[in-house]
Structure formats: C-alpha cells, structure tokens
Amino acid sequence: MTTGMLCCRGRKMSTAATACFRSISAIPKPSSFSICAMLRRYQTISRSNAFTLRLHFNRPLPADIKLRQDSLRLHCTPAINLFTHYAEPVRPDGRMAEYPLRASHKHPDAYDIFQVSTVTSKVKVSGTEISPGSQARVWPEFESFQHQMEYSRQREVVYWHHRTKTSLLHHGLEHSIAFVHADGSIPGSSRF
C-alpha cells in the first residue's frame, strides 16, 4: 500500500468541499484522476482553514507520479464519463508477446480504455464449439499477489498484463494485453 498526504492551508472551504473532484483538464495526464467523496460527518471542513487528506492506494504508484499540494483541485469534475464496457475479443495463441486491445472496432473514436479490471475467456469442453453456456475462465492479473504462490506450481499459471504506449498514429494511447508467466516469459500455445 502506498500512502500520500495532501494539505490545503489558508483556503476558506465551502460546503461543496464535501465532494471534491480532480479535474481532468487541469492535470498533465488525462487518465490520472481520482474521485474522492468525503463523508457527511466531516462537514466541519467547511468551517476550517486547513485540513489533511490521506490517500490510500491499493497498488504502488508509478515512479513518474508525484503527489503534491497542487495535485488536488476543488470544485471540479472529470471531463469524461467512466463506465464498464467489454472490449473486442482477443485470441491469444502464444505467437505474439502482446495483443492489441480495442474497446470497439466499429466506433474507435467513441471509446477509450481507462483500465482493464478483469480478463475472462470461454473454455472449450472436449473440442466442442464454444457456446453461451460454456464455462468462463478468469485469468489472474500479473500485478496481483497471486503470482507469489506460483513458484510451487512450476510456471503453470498464465497472467495478463495491460500495457499502454503513446500512439504514433493518433492522439492518445495504444493499449495492448500480454499473457505471461510470473517470470515474464511468454507461455506456449498449449496454455491458452
């Protein structure tokens, strides 16, 4: 767990401070925003000149992200709308290190990927066609703590890893998904 602490001093806070949002347009990276809703019992902030906000993250922050006092913006809302959406299917075969990830082939400009939360696949049952009733396989994330148990299983587990890089063709990022073992090696086609 990583903890960050931001302090705002000498500013008069209004009751709107109970719902503070960091604005997408005020930060260098559009995808690095967070939403923070303060509980009603802390409404006394509105009558204070200073407060301390402690942020607890469920993953370590990337090395290039630095939290400072000016990282927090009051009375702002994100300029985007986040919602759950299934990506276009990817068919891993073990021949490539990573596979392109697209939210929509039909409407590529209408969607962008903020994060990948889960990766699932349908399991073929004894060589039959995959049907809607097929069993779903949930792939573990590489950044999860599940890979710590892997060493006793001799590289049986295949993990997914969401990767991003700056696009050379359009404004924004290109997303891909990689399937790897805990040591970073690419699994053979029999693992899919």
The tens digit of pLDDT for each residue in 117-173 reads 889 888 766 655 555 556 788 889 888 877 656 555 566 788 899 999 988 887 778
> Is 60 exceeded by the pLDDT of residue 107?
yes
Residue 147 buriedness (CB in 10 A; 0-12 / 13-18 / 19+) = middle
Percent of the chain topping pLDDT 90 = 7
Per-residue confidence at 29, pLDDT binned at 50, 70, 90? Answer: very low
Question: What pLDDT shows up at residue 109?
Answer: 76
CA-closest candidate to residue 5, choices 47, 81, 68? 68
- Report pTM: 0.53
Q: How far is CA 127 from the centre of its chain?
A: 34
> Is 60 exceeded by the pLDDT of residue 1?
no
Residue 163 buriedness (CB in 10 A; 0-12 / 13-18 / 19+) = middle
Question: What pLDDT shows up at residue 99?
Answer: 93
> Is 70 exceeded by the pLDDT of residue 61?
yes
Question: What pLDDT shows up at residue 78?
Answer: 61
For the stretch 92-116, what's the b/e string if a residue is b when 16 or more beta carbons lie within 10 angstroms of its beta carbon? beeeeebbebbbeeeeeeeeebeee
Average pLDDT over residues 166-185: 85
DSSP string, 60-90: PPPTT----GGG--SS---SS-----PPPP-
User: For residue range 66-101, what is the model confidence (pLDDT) as tens digits?
Assistant: 877 777 776 666 666 677 888 888 888 888 889 999
The answer for residues whose C-beta is within 8 angstroms of residue 9's C-beta and 6 or more apart is 49, 50
What is the distance between the alpha carbons of residues 52 and 76, in angstroms, rounded to a whole number?
19
Phi, psi for residue 91 in degrees, rounded to 5:
-115, 90
Average pLDDT over residues 106-115: 82
Structure-token pair, residue 140: 């573990």
Q: In whole numbers, what is the pLDDT of the chain averaged over residues?
A: 69
